[in-house]
Amino acid sequence: MNYETVIGLEIHAELSTKTKAFCSCEYKFGGEVNTQCCPGCMGMPGTLPVLNKNVVEYALRMGLATDCEINKISKHDRKNYFYPDLAKGYQITQADIPICENGRVEFYHKGEKRIVRLTRIHIEEDTAKLLHDDSFKGTLLDFNRSGVPLIEIVSEPDLRSAEEAKDYLEAVRMLLMALNICNGQMQEGTIRCDVNVSVRPVGEKKFGTRVEMKNVNTFSGAMLAIEYESNRQINLLRAGKNFSQETRRWDENKNASVTMRTKEDAADYRYFHDTDLTPIVIDDEWLAEIKNSLPELPVAKFDRYRSMGISEAESWLLAENSDKAEFFEKCTRVGNFPAKTIAHWIFGAITARLNKSFVTIEKSPLTAENFCEILSMIEKGILNNDTGKIVLDEMFTNGGSPDEIVQKLSLVQVSDEEELKKLVEEVLKNNTQSIADYKNGKKNAFTFLVGQCMKASKGKANPQIINKLINELM
């Protein structure tokens, strides 16, 4: 019998607000332990939480970007459980009335558009961090992360493979970053997920028994966890064994999941309204303001770039890189060059030159105006692609406008046939073997000869004329 895998994800994303969810502590990853906390976020009795308005705004940004219904009134609840990283004995979260419900995330999987429905997005707080110290075989607590705001993005069980889940995760990460509400740094644990997996015989409508895996910190880990768990379940079913719903822990070192707890239910957490906090009431005006401030979303951007004739790979790069996208957009306004040409330059020569100088495009000497000047000189035949790159390089190295650089380095493209003829004759005279090779059917001997001529001209020859002359003179 063949089985189908069914996956639903609960993604926890740390919000990049300046201060924590319910106190005024600032939080930055990597700070010295226990320096970014106060009695409030350490769970001292007698302290009272005050909700950070930016947390609500960030959650609403995500909710609006994923077409959620917004609950104009929502509230906070306590999820009660004991664990050393949760000093006050409960986590402030949202249970029966989350801030956002019934949304959808659009993404691409294998070149095709997919939709995953969102059950809900709610606000909650992060826990402290346990530090396991081998030097004395004990565990220490760092409260810096305690009370950092999270949104939990819960999907419907709409995913069907590990690869599809990874593409969805990547789309959510890109969305969070585009909305400027989460830094997306996986290695800092900013995005973590619980992976729910079940299997069912192909064609079966009813879902199988679900297993939830906690502690998945990377997207590749999520894929491994899904594959591992789905194989484990299929093998059990094939062997005629049943298994029950449980929570397992994904072990990244062993690449295996182990039982954490069985039969855990919402009732076990004894959720109840946290009356230390007032309900969250959202007025229409504020909501409209947030809606209007949303940027163009990555998938929409990607679709737009594709429709401009830019390749799939470069369209994604543009959708992901806001500074390069901004530069690209400016270029399309300054001049009338093909979008594809601009994108090629940005992700080819320009990116290479930026990397060489370790600068971003904004901090570089390059502007849409002076770059378009280079393109315009190429279009007019004053420069070719090679000398265009020399101009670009010189702008970074010694500065100056493209015009000045072309004069200074006397880079004007040579299109004079008489002058180039002498050069081609010389190259042909010195490469008789390549001519023979070409005549014997070796096509790349021709490309070699063109290259030699371009080199002899220090990149300044007009390549079309060189091509023509080699043909004629050979």
Interface with ligand ADP by CB under 6 A: which residues? 6-10, 154-157, 196-198, 207-208, 210, 212
Q: What is the DSSP letter of 413?
A: -
93 within 8 A of 274, measured Cβ to Cβ: no
Structure tokens at 197: 């997996």
Least Å from the CB of residue 212 to Mg ion: 6
Residue 198 binding partner per list ligand ADP, Zn ion, Mg ion, none, with a CB distance cut-off of 5 to 8 Å that depends on partner kind? ligand ADP
Residue 196 binding partner per list Zn ion, Mg ion, ligand ADP, none, with a CB distance cut-off of 5 to 8 Å that depends on partner kind? ligand ADP
Least Å from the CB of residue 93 to Zn ion: 18
Task: List, in sequence order, every residue forming a beta bridge with 191; answer none if it has no partner.
Answer: 13
Whichever of 250 and 438 has its CB closer to ligand ADP, that residue is 250
Query: DSSP for 339-405?
Result: HHHHHHHIIIIIHHHHHHHT--TTTSS--HHHHHHHHHHHHTTSS-HHHHHHHHHHHHHT---HHHH
Least Å from the CB of residue 204 to Mg ion: 24
Contacts of 184 (CB under 8 A, 6+ apart): 173, 174, 176, 177, 190, 191
Least Å from the CB of residue 158 to ligand ADP: 7
Report 200-259 residues binding Mg ion (CB under 5 A): none
Structure tokens at 446: 């021709």
d(CA 406, CA 388): 9
Give the interface segment with Mg ion, choosing from 186-194, 203-211, 274-282, 443-451 (CB under 5 A).
Answer: 186-194
Whichever of 9 and 92 has its CB closer to ligand ADP, that residue is 9
Least Å from the CB of residue 254 to ligand ADP: 23
Q: Which residues of 131-160 are buried (b: 16+ CB within 10 A; e: fewer)?
A: eeeeeeeeeebbbbbbbbbbbbbbbebbbe
CA atoms within 13 A on the CB side of 186: 15
Whichever of 7 and 310 has its CB closer to ligand ADP, that residue is 7
Residue 23 binding partner per list ligand ADP, Mg ion, Zn ion, none, with a CB distance cut-off of 5 to 8 Å that depends on partner kind? Zn ion
d(CA 17, CA 11): 18
Residue 21 binding partner per list Zn ion, ligand ADP, Mg ion, none, with a CB distance cut-off of 5 to 8 Å that depends on partner kind? none
Task: Tell me the residue number closest to ligand ADP, measured at CB.
Answer: 8
Whichever of 10 and 320 has its CB closer to ligand ADP, that residue is 10
Closest to 388 in 3D by CA, of 358, 369, 412, 366: 412
Task: List, in sequence order, every residue forming a beta bridge with 150; answer none if it has no partner.
Answer: 14, 124
Least Å from the CB of residue 272 to ligand ADP: 16
Whichever of 41 and 280 has its CB closer to Zn ion, that residue is 41
Residues of the shown chain interacting with Zn ion in the complex, contacts defined by CB under 5 A = 23, 25, 38, 40-41
Residue 155 binding partner per list Zn ion, Mg ion, ligand ADP, none, with a CB distance cut-off of 5 to 8 Å that depends on partner kind? ligand ADP
Q: Is the dihedral of CA 75, 80, 86, 87 positive or negative?
A: positive
Give the interface segment with Mg ion, choosing from 5-13, 24-32, 93-101, 363-371 (CB under 5 A).
Answer: 5-13
Least Å from the CB of residue 315 to Mg ion: 35
Least Å from the CB of residue 155 to ligand ADP: 5
Q: Cα dist. 348→314, 323, 361, 389, 451 in Å?
A: 10, 15, 13, 10, 20
Task: List, in sequence order, every residue forming a beta bridge with 272; answer none if it has no partner.
Answer: 78
Residue 157 binding partner per list Zn ion, Mg ion, ligand ADP, none, with a CB distance cut-off of 5 to 8 Å that depends on partner kind? ligand ADP
Least Å from the CB of residue 289 to Zn ion: 28
Whichever of 97 and 409 has its CB closer to Mg ion, that residue is 97
Residue 8 binding partner per list Mg ion, Zn ion, ligand ADP, none, with a CB distance cut-off of 5 to 8 Å that depends on partner kind? ligand ADP
Question: Which residues of this protein are in contact with Mg ion, per CB under 5 A?
Answer: 10, 194
